[in-house]
Structure 1
Amino acid sequence: MEAIPPSLGAGEMEHIIIFHHESSFHANDYQSEYWLKPGEQVLKKKDKGRLIMVSDFSIEETGHIVLTAELRKAQLSLPESERLPDHARIVICPTSKATGDSYWNMEQMIAQLKTVLRMLQALYPNKKYVFIFDNSSAHNSLAKDALTVTKMNVNPGGKQAHMHDTVILENNPHGLGGQSQSMQFPNELPLTHKHFQYAGQPKGMRVILEERGLVRPSEKIVGVCKDCKVSRSRKPQIEGLSPAEEALIADEDEGDNTEEEEETRLKDYCMQRILLLQDDFKNEKSLLEKVIEEAGHVCLFLPKFHPELNPIEMYWGWAKQYFRERSNGNFRTPLKLVHEALDVCPLMTIRKSFQRVYRYMSAYR
């Protein structure tokens, strides 16, 4: 088959659809059913074995994001620090031991994404890339300086995050729309300033609301109302989380309320609630969206609970079946088998999974 180039109008660009996928294997992950002769028995290890985690991207045209032979040769003339990897895929074996790999996190995800953007620029120049991710809490995590009301104190200073500057919304009822607003005080304040001792520190919710005209300086209003506290207490409490994991869950909490809950709760109940309903806080973009959109491309998230919209579900099913049929419990064998299982899946099978997903999407429209 020959690829038919699209017919593009003035100013139009070809869009490349890229699905991200993450999954895991276990060294002792065997097939569940066997054909055996009478008296035969399969001996299996009791535990699942070492964990092997994979993060990769799939494209319908080639199946994987892999450098061509010409690009690999061209990389040899570049300094080692500037060379691109041959394959976008990352495979890690996380463990609690200090010498092992750390568990997959957003920092590693962003590093991989930036490398993939460079690879795509070499493989598909002058095209727009549409990245599609699962709608998970990890993928929706915010940047460290994101506008996150749950990380703010009522008053200035104290232990609260430093957040990026913003612009007061045009629909501000007090005519302040369009004005820039810093979430921190300047590093130098006059001695007569009310908050002189907090120079360079976060302003807190009250000052931010006062600057927007949404709360009067003398007005008495609680920082976090009873309803907001109850809403947060309903979130699952998980022990043993690292600070990064706790922050990740806090970021996800920002948009967890349903539309029905949003309508039934009072709109001006507390400072936290007022800020949470401000569009710049409510529509804060995830770290993935920021990195991709800053590069000039598109980031989309699949709706929750709709695996039929992701072609990687069928691809992973094929790869795991291949892996289980050949795994023998030896750690070196599974590590090699993971790459083999993902690479030998026929390109036609991957393309069929893409086409099946597109038919689902067309039906849902």
Structure 2
Amino acid sequence: MVSDFCPPDLGWLRSKDGSREARILFKAGKSRDGYFSCDDLCAQTELAIELFETHFPLGNVIAAFGFDNAPGHQKRADDALSARHMPKFPKKWLGKKGKKMRNGVLPNGHPQNFYFPDDHPQLPGYFKGMKIILEERGLVNEGKLNAECEAFKCANTNAPCCCCRVLFNQPDFKAQKPAIVELVEDSGHITFFLPKIPL
């Protein structure tokens, strides 16, 4: 497998002196190099941004990074907002890969920490749970709902049927971007996904 970047004005992306390139050769397969993951793509994109900026210092030119719609490219960062698998009540709980979930955003625009502080007298560092998170957002009645509909198969994805669905439909959760988009945008560039091609 070959993964590379090709800016129209530069051709295959390399450093100015040609000593480094963005191209990755990857032997996909369980008994080979494994599988090209979102983490691999993010690392390659980080290098591509660095190489691109050797030609065009940031501020002079903004790059537009285009990616196909592969499911792996839609992966969110390990600390990203996600209502899936959240406990309803306070618990020693971490998100993906043992990372604390980043702050959410309250309706007034202030950050909402999903964990009690480490110096909390009863629950130091505990995850607050969906009930408290919803109550802090003024959604007291919604905090009384069941944690999740069976297998998160809600009859109406816009209805407040369970705590998980209510959080899933909150503006900050809906606005959560894939990791690759956050990486590119945090570097001052833009990104887009190519439309899915029906089979």
CA drift of 1:160 comes to 4.0
Could you give the per-residue CA deviations for residues 94-121 of structure 1, whole angstroms, max 9, x where no partner exists? 3434xx4232112211111111111000
Residue type of the alignment partner of 1:212: R
What does residue 163 of structure 1 align with?
A: 101
CA drift of 1:158 comes to 4.3
What does residue 202 of structure 1 align with?
A: 127
Aligned mates of 2:197, 2:33 — CA distance in 1: 30
The DSSP-based 3-state class of the residue aligned with 2:2 is strand
What does residue 72 of structure 2 align with?
A: 138
CA drift of 1:216 comes to 4.7
Q: Which has the larger radius of gyration?
A: 1
- How many residues of Structure 1 are paired with residues of Structure 2 in the alignment? 193
Q: Indicate the RMSD between aligned Cα atoms, in angstroms.
A: 2.3
Could you give the per-residue CA deviations for residues 247-299 of structure 1, whole angstroms, max 9, x where no partner exists? xxxxxxxxxxxxxx8xx545211101110110100110110111111111101
Residue type of the alignment partner of 2:137: R
What does residue 152 of structure 2 align with?
A: 229
Aligned mates of 2:77, 2:170 — CA distance in 1: 18
Instruction: Structure 2 unaligned segments of length 5 or more: list them.
Output: none
With normalisation by structure 2, the TM-score equals: 0.87
Contact 2:64 / 2:189 at 8 angstroms: preserved in 1?
Answer: yes
Contact 1:160 / 1:202 at 8 angstroms: preserved in 2?
Answer: yes
Instruction: Structure 1 unaligned segments of length 5 or more: list them.
Output: 1-52, 73-84, 170-176, 191-195, 232-260, 308-365
CA drift of 1:135 comes to 1.6
Could you give the per-residue CA deviations for residues 170-198 of structure 1, whole angstroms, max 9, x where no partner exists? xxxxxxx12221011100113xxxxx1x3
Structure with a larger share of its residues in helix = 1
2:33 to 101, 109, 118: 101
Aligned mates of 1:180, 1:285 — CA distance in 2: 17
1:63 corresponds to 2:1? no
Residue type of the alignment partner of 1:187: D
CA drift of 1:215 comes to 1.8
Report sequence identity in percent: 32
2:62 to 120, 123, 128: 128
**1:266 and 1:301, CA in 2 relative to 1: closer, same or farther beyond 3 A?**
closer
Residue type of the alignment partner of 2:145: I
2:113 to 169, 182, 186: 182
Residue type of the alignment partner of 2:119: E
What does residue 197 of structure 2 align with?
A: 305
Contact 1:153 / 1:205 at 8 angstroms: preserved in 2?
Answer: yes
